Amino acid sequence: MDLFSAMDVSGSALSAQRTRMNVIADNLANAETSRTPAGGPYRKKEVVFGAQPVPAFAELLRGIKAARGGVEVLAVVESPAPPRRVHRPGHPDADAQGYVALPDINPVIEMVDMIAATRAYEANVTAIQAAKAMAQKALEIGR
């Protein structure tokens, strides 16, 4: 794998983690949203990642494709978890018993996921910086 392929892989991970952080931010912003335009409470969203295919070794030897690989966002899906019911009799969306359906979002879990996404983002930035430094050192050898 050359340095540019390594940067491509880390770049794809940066994009995927940015999407993950945006989805987590949406979840936190809507943790108390009891009514959406679609009807019902907000549904927690989750990001599904997948590996980008790497060409077969024989193809690499023939020079048909450069090694790529990486990560991609396959989908952003809504959680199947049912909404939690909270007793708030004065709320405009309360049912006859005084319960409001709210999203099943735990802010603590969302913040832990945000920290993990941030750490993964930082690790990929460090990998890109290391590849850049190696390329720079390789150019200095040629002088």
| Predicted TM-score (pTM) of this structure | 0.83
d(CA 84, CA 119): 30
Dihedral over alpha carbons 118, 120, 123, 124 (to 10 degrees) = -110
Indicate if the pLDDT at residue 46 is higher than 70.
yes
Please report where in the chains the tokens 């990001």 appear, as a residue. 47
Round to whole Å and give the CA distance between 99 and 89: 6
The per-residue pLDDT for range 79-136, each reduced to its tens digit, is 999 999 999 999 999 999 999 999 999 999 999 999 999 999 999 999 999 999 988 8
51's enclosing H/E stretch is strand 45-51
